[in-house]
Structures are given as structure tokens and as C-alpha cells.
């Protein structure tokens, strides 16, 4: 079930007022319950930061002392002592800055593990969640756009975790300390100007940052769209070349990048406006306090060192104040970046294990479809009351015209979808009552379009059972009739297959898929049009390997070419979502119905194909005239 964003508020949102609730939702990443070592690092990092704030507080007083000792108004204490006092104060000033810098760097070192652990945990959670999502979700996705959403989201959470834990709270502590010093040394009038300046600065920062959120969202959408188009185009590289549409693809990509460019320009322009406004507010307050301090120095109620102390504190306040503005901007931007990713995490898989679901127990296995109806869309029913049984160790083939619902049966068996009504059982166990992992572990699939991982041939075969030994991998390859081919390659089983296995031919890919399934040794086997995309000769070679795989296994064959199912124990002929005919090959031909018509059409097509091949191999027509072919 997909979350309706109009009815359910997402757990993470970049909208105004959601920062603290979002931080609450992300608390488990900042304070991981299962990692006491990381919790200790958080405490030590905060301690280091507080120590840096203590050093920062003493720096202005050292600076004031230096100025007061050098302005000529201090009592004469001798050349040596008069020289020693400012030197000691300079040393204290330098040490204060060194301690400040050192503790801040120590903070970053201590917290690095916490931030990276948060990124790793969130990325892993998202990866798991995407694999839990049902087939309908993945059929509608754009891989490139999805990867960019995840990339931005994982970076965004690091920003939020780091800034929230290590910057906001200590900076507020620094503001409080400064406020106390202002009241103690200069009075409430100075504090009043300082508070108004800080309030105006933060108010302007929050309002301007919130205004920029919509721009950031537009930029993210354009970035996601551009990346999706780029990945999609590269994955379909051959199709682009077939139709000479490189220019069109470049124009589509550039159109998305143009939207990104416009949004990025608006982002930088708005940032310039934000930075200038912040500077205007701060230096306005700076001017007022400086005029008040100058008046105090002229009236001799303040010393020259007090004037310097005030200015130093103001500049020290500007750094965390500016940083608070930067942090708020980064938090809002981080929230915007992770917003889409958490929308993914808020979506529930369409197919989930029921509470109390048990592992599948195999005793036969016997597969039974009991009055199954199914639709992808309520207005378009696919299966209409389909019932059949596949006895243990037998083969049942499902054939029929395109769109009859053949491949839907394999998807229902894998429980990529749940039936609308009726039930599917294996050894009497309803698929909805057993765990998906145990169900899919018991089924092996050889699909029509085999897609391999961009790794070695050995890796792709071993994918059927990752703990298999090299000897078992070679034995599976031999049974699939692909062993000699692999061993003849320069790199053998370490030969890379390329993106989606494109370095191998169709027949080679199918044999690798068969070897992978043999290695898995499933109780139930599904052959979903496993040879329909191959030529007749390759099909015959592959079919012999498939016969080995399916021997003594409960097998469902979904076929387009009827020549591959003549030996099936039973053949079901689907038409418009119902079983129109059933029986073995001979019985169905004797009925002279739909199956017989399909058989005749395919036989004529096969004979025509073979005639074309003979003609291509005998261009002078010797065989046709009963003569030996020319050599």
C-alpha cells in the first residue's frame, strides 16, 4: 500500500516548524542505543566543544588586558614588570586561541565516527527498505532519480546529526555567557542592544531560509530528473544508437539541466541576499554598541581596553551567530535533501509477511491454484477463476496468446502480488501465510530476459547459492552445458560479463541463468518463456539443459514456443484469463481447438525459418534440384 501524502504527514519534512520534530525522529542516529562507544564519543565531543567555549570566553579579557597595559594610563611599575605584563597577556591570548582551535578539532575527530555511522545506518536501512518494496513500486521507479535521492539523503542526515549535536546547544551556551558578562561589566543598555540585534538576525535568517526551501526543492527535482534521464539513456545505449537519437537524448538531458541551472542561480542569488541582510543587521547593532562604548571611553566610565573587549566579544558573537545562521540554512537544506528519501521510507510494501507467518515446509511439493482471480487494475481483470494443480515432480506448461495472463501466474507464485480472490497453495500452505523469504528460497526461476550482475561469470553462477564451493559451481555449469565455453575463456570463471551481461550472447546468458538455478537446487522450478527470445538452434540446445534442470522437480513452464512443452505432463491453454483447454500435447491436438491452431501456425513459421536457412546455405539451389550442395 502506498502512502497518500495528502492524508499522512511524512516523518521528515522541510516545512517550517518541523525541525525539532525531525531531530526527534532522527535521535536514534545521533544517540545509537546499540553503540555505547559512539555515545561516549558524543559526550567527549560535547565536552571538547564546551572547553573550547571556555577558552573563547577568556580570550577577550586577555586582549583587554594587553590594551590597558599599553595605553599609557596604567601606574608605572618599572620597565621589566611593565614589559612582562603585556607579554604574559599576549601569551595567554595566543594559548586561548590555540586551545580553542585544538578542542574544536578534537570535537570533529571524536564525532567523525558518529556521523559516518549515522550515514551508514540510514543508507543500509534505505537499501533494505527498497528491496522490501513490492514489484509494483519498482516497475514505476526511475533508477537514476532514485539513486540521487538516496545520495542526497545520506549526506543530508550527516549534516543534521553533526550540526544539531555539536553546534546549536553549545552556541546558545556561549550567548548566555556573553549576556551575563555584558550585564555585569557594561549594564542592561548594552545587553538590550545585543538582544535586539541577535533577535533580528535570527528572525531574518529563519524567514529567508524558509523562503529558500521551495527553490531548493525545485533544484532537487531538476537534479533528480536530469540524473534519471542520464542513467536511463546510458542503460539504453544500444537503442539510442539504433535510432541515431543521440541529439534528442542530449536535448532531453539539457532541458532538465537547464531547470537545475535556473534553480541553482536562484539559490546563489537568494544566498547573497541572505548573507547581505545578516551582515546589515549585525553591523547595525555593532555600530550602536560601538558608539555607546566610545561615549563611555570619552566620559572615562570605560577604559580603552573595555572598548576593545566589547568589540572582541561582538566579533566572537558574530562567529557563532553567523554559524547559527549557517547551521539553520544547512539544517533546512539537509531536511529538504532527506525529505524525498524519507518519503520512500514512509511507503509500506504492498506485499508484507502476515503476523505469525511461518516458513514454508516442503513435502512434495504440490502447487495448487484454487479459483484464482487477479487484476493489476480493477477495470482490467487478468485472471478469472483459474484452477489447476501441479503434482509433485511433474511438469505443467501454461501457453496462450499474448496478454492471456501467463507471466502473471509466475509473479503470483513468487508472491510479487497477492491474488484478488481464491488461493495459491504449496503442499496445502497458503502463500499468504508463509514467509516470503522461505517461499522464494524454494523456487528457482529461469526468465525470458536474463539480466546478469556486472561482475564475473563465476559470481553470477554462485549467486544461486553464495556459499557454494568452486567444484559445485563448475558442476552446475557443466550440467547447464556452459562449462566448456567458460573454461575456454582466457579468464575462465573470472571473466567479467559487463553491464546486464551484455558481453555474453543470449544463449550464453541463458546457460549462466540455468547454471545459477541448478546451483540453487530449488524444489519448485519456473521456466518463464526461457527460450522465446532465442533462435531455433540455440533454443534446442538450451532446451536439453532445461530438461536436465526440471527432471524430478515440480515445474511450471510458461511458454510461447509450443515445441518446448510437448513433453509436459499437462498443458493449460489460457485465453482472456481463463483456462480454455487442458491436456497433454497429443490430446490437445486431437481436440483441434486453440492449441491445435497455435501449433499449426508455429509449425508453419518454423518450417519457413528452416527453409530460409537452407536457402541461405545453398544459394545456387543444388539441394532443391536433388543435387549435392556446392562446396
Alpha carbon distance 256, 253 (integer Å): 5
Q: Is 275 exposed, middle or buried (0-12, 13-18, 19+ CB in 10 A)?
A: middle
Per residue in 274-295, pLDDT tens?
A: 888 888 988 888 888 888 888 8
Domain membership flag for residue 217? yes
CATH number at residue 333: 1.20.1560.10
Alpha carbon distance 522, 354 (integer Å): 24
Quick one: 507 and 534 in the same domain?
no
Alpha carbon distance 114, 25 (integer Å): 17
- For residues 331 and 159, is the Cβ–Cβ distance under 8 A? yes
Tell which residue, 159, 200, 191, 181, has the closest CA to residue 56.
181
26 is written with which cell numbers?
A: 532522527
CATH number at residue 529: 3.40.50.300
**Domain residue limits at 501:** 450-521
Residue 584: partners with Cβ closer than 8 Å, 6 or more residues away: 568, 569, 570, 571
Alpha carbon distance 301, 293 (integer Å): 9
Quick one: 194 and 310 in the same domain?
yes
Quick one: 435 and 463 in the same domain?
no
Domain count along the chain: 3
Domain membership flag for residue 115? yes
Quick one: 401 and 280 in the same domain?
no
Domain end call among 313, 346, 379 = 346
Q: Poorest-confidence range of 125-134, 468-477, 518-527?
A: 125-134
Quick one: 223 and 304 in the same domain?
yes
Domain membership flag for residue 189? yes
The helix/strand/coil state of 249 is helix
pTM of this structure? 0.64
- For residues 270 and 333, is the Cβ–Cβ distance under 8 A? no
Residue 625 has pLDDT above 60, yes or no: no
Quick one: 201 and 223 in the same domain?
yes
How many helices (H) and strands (E) are present in the chain, helices listed first?
20, 10
Q: For 393-397, what is the mean pLDDT?
A: 91
Domain membership flag for residue 589? yes
Domain membership flag for residue 8? no
**Higher-confidence position of 126 and 141:** 126
Quick one: 368 and 268 in the same domain?
no
The helix/strand/coil state of 3 is coil
Per residue in 601-612, pLDDT tens?
A: 888 766 766 666
Quick one: 232 and 260 in the same domain?
yes
Residue 88: partners with Cβ closer than 8 Å, 6 or more residues away: none
Amino acid at each position: 500500500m502506498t502512502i497518500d501524502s495528502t492524508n499522512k504527514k511524512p516523518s521528515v519534512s522541510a516545512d517550517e516548524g518541523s525541525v525539532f520534530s525531525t531531530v526527534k525522529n532522527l535521535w536514534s542516529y545521533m544517540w545509537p542505543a546499540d553503540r555505547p562507544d559512539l555515545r561516549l564519543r558524543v559526550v567527549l565531543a560535547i565536552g571538547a566543544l564546551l572547553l573550547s567555549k571556555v577558552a573563547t570566553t577568556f580570550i577577550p579579557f586577555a586582549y583587554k588586558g594587553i590594551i590597558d597595559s599599553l595605553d599609557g594610563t596604567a601606574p608605572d611599575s618599572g620597565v621589566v614588570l611593565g614589559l612582562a605584563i603585556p607579554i604574559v597577556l599576549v601569551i595567554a591570548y595566543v594559548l586561548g586561541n590555540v586551545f580553542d582551535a585544538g578542542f574544536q578539532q578534537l570535537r570533529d575527530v571524536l564525532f567523525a565516527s558518529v556521523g559516518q555511522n549515522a550515514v551508514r545506518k540510514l543508507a543500509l536501512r534505505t537499501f533494505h527498505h527498497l528491496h522490501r518494496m513490492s514489484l509494483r513500486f519498482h516497475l514505476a521507479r526511475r533508477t537514476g532519480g532514485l539513486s540521487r535521492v538516496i545520495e542526497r539523503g545520506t549526506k543530508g542526515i550527516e549534516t543534521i546529526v553533526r550540526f544539531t549535536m555539536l553546534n546549536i546547544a553549545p552556541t546558545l551556551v556561549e550567548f548566555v555567557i556573553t549576556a551575563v558578562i555584558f550585564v555585569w561589566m557594561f549594564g542592561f543598555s548594552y545587553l538590550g542592544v545585543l538582544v535586539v540585534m541577535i533577535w533580528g538576525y535570527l528572525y531574518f535568517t529563519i524567514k529567508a531560509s524558509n523562503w529558500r526551501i521551495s527553490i531548493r526543492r525545485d533544484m532537487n527535482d531538476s537534479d533528480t530528473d536530469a540524473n534519471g534521464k542520464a542513467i536511463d539513456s546510458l542503460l539504453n545505449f544500444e537503442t539510442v544508437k539504433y535510432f541515431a537519437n543521440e541529439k534528442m537524448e542530449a536535448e532531453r538531458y539539457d532541458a532538465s539541466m537547464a531547470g537545475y541551472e535556473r534553480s541553482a542561480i536562484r539559490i546563489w542569488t537568494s544566498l547573497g541576499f541572505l548573507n547581505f541582510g545578516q551582515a546589515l543587521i549585525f553591523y547595525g547593532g555593532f555600530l550602536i554598541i560601538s558608539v555607546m562604548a566610545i561615549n563611555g571611553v570619552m566620559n572615562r566610565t570605560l577604559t580603552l581596553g573595555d572598548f576593545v573587549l566589547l568589540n572582541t566579544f561582538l566579533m566572537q558573537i558574530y562567529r557563532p551567530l553567523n554559524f547559527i545562521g549557517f547551521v539553520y540554512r544547512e539544517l533546512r537544506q539537509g531536511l529538504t535533501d532527506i525529505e524525498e528519501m524519507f518519503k520512500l521510507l514512509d511507503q509500506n510494501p504492498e506485499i508484507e509477511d502476515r503476523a505469525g507467518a511461518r516458513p514454508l515446509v516442503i513435502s512434495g511439493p504440490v502447487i495448487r491454484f484454487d479459483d484464482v482471480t487477479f487484476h493489476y487494475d480493477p477495470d482490467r481483470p487478468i485472471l478469472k477463476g483459474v484452477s489447476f494443480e501441479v503434482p509433485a515432480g511433474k511438469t505443467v506448461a501454461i501457453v496462450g496468446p499474448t496478454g492471456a495472463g501467463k507471466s502473471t501466474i509466475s509473479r503470483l507464485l513468487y508472491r510479487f502480488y497477492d491474488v484478488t480472490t481464491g488461493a495459491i497453495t504449496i503442499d496445502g500452505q497458503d502463500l499468504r501465510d508463509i514467509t516470503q523469504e522461505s517461499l522464494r528460497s524454494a523456487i528457482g526461476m529461469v526468465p525470458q530476459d536474463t539480466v546478469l550482475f556486472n561482475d564475473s561469470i563465476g559470481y553470477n553462477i554462485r549467486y544461486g547459492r553464495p556459499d557454494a564451493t568452486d567444484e559445485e559451481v563448475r558442476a552446475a555449469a557443466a550440467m547447464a552445458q556452459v562449462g566448456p565455453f567458460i573454461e575456454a575463456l582466457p579468464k575462465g570463471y573470472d571473466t567479467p560479463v559487463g553491464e546486464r551481461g551484455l558481453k555474453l550472447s543470449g544463449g550464453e546468458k541463458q546457460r549462466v541463468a540455468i547454471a545459477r538455478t541448478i546451483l540453487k537446487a530449488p524444489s519448485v522450478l519456473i521456466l518463464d518463456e526461457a527460450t522465446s527470445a532465442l533462435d531455433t538452434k540455440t533454443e534446442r540446445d538450451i532446451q536439453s539443459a532445461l530438461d536436465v534442470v526440471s527432471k524430478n522437480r515440480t515445474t511450471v513452464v510458461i511458454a510461447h514456443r509450443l515445441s518446448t512443452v510437448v513433453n509436459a505432463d499437462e498443458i493449460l491453454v489460457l485465453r482472456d484469463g481463463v483456462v480454455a483447454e487442458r491436456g497433454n500435447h497429443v490430446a490437445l491436438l486431437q481436440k483441434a481447438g486453440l492449441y491445435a491452431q497455435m501449433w499449426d501456425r508455429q509449425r508453419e513459421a518454423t518450417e519457413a525459418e528452416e527453409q530460409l536457412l537452407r536457402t541461405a546455405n545453398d544459394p545456387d539451389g543444388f539441394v532443391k534440384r536433388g543435387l549435392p550442395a556446392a562446396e
